[in-house]
Chains A and B, each alone.
Chain A
Amino acid sequence: MGNILKEITNSATALAKGFSITFKTMLRPTVTENYPHQPPTFEDRYRGLHVLRRDENGLEKCVACFLCAAACPSNCIYIEAAENTAAHRISAAERYAKVYNIDYNRCIFCGYCVEACPCDAITHGHGFEISAYDTNALIYRKEQLLEPLPASAKK
């Protein structure tokens, strides 16, 4: 008889203990993100899709020094350089990147390119939604990587 009573008490205690966590957590703020219904949040240093930066005048920071391509362990950066002219000025220095492609089929998001960049032109953004049905669509061109013109530089 005593055994049955003891069993009931034990079960009740276990239930109470378990549910106490459940009820406590119900009152706490949730950590689960409601992606894709709500935008995800990132740590600042998250290494997502690259962004090619512009300076305060809206000129591209990249001077096509090729150091990112040299640092890249998966060889996914392809650049063609060209010379700025007075009439056609793209970057602040003498040279700019006429073509700047990153092949996201190969990119491993290691961040070496960002590390190597002497002009802080290439940075990691927080983009990550790059899945595609066609691998060709994963080769991003400069136009896709460039940050939009700042409002101050817009005419």
Chain B
Amino acid sequence: MKINKDLVAASATPIILTLLQEGESYGYAIIQRVRELSEGEVIWTDGMLYPILHRLESQGLISARWGESESGRKRKYYRLEAPAKEAIDDERRQWNTMNLILARLWNPQTA
């Protein structure tokens, strides 16, 4: 089963923010972590990540710093900023609500 494109796009922000709760990271590593967590079900085009990271940076939810990779190449690392906690909580509430609505619709006896 492949997750449809719209759902992937909608879930990208909470996924990125939540992943960065694990610690500072960079673009390629974030993509790999998503692939690992979704066991290949969620297909992200690598390029879709960067506009989202830059938007979150401009919103002050994450910050970036330039560092170096093990091979000495320049690498941009991202980490969460304080306002991100509230944003993650808000996303969690929204996704739980949507999940609850769909669960009630699809499984009326158990809901």
Q: State yes or no: do A and B come from one complex.
A: no
A interface, CB within 8 angstroms of B = none
B interface, CB within 8 angstroms of A = none
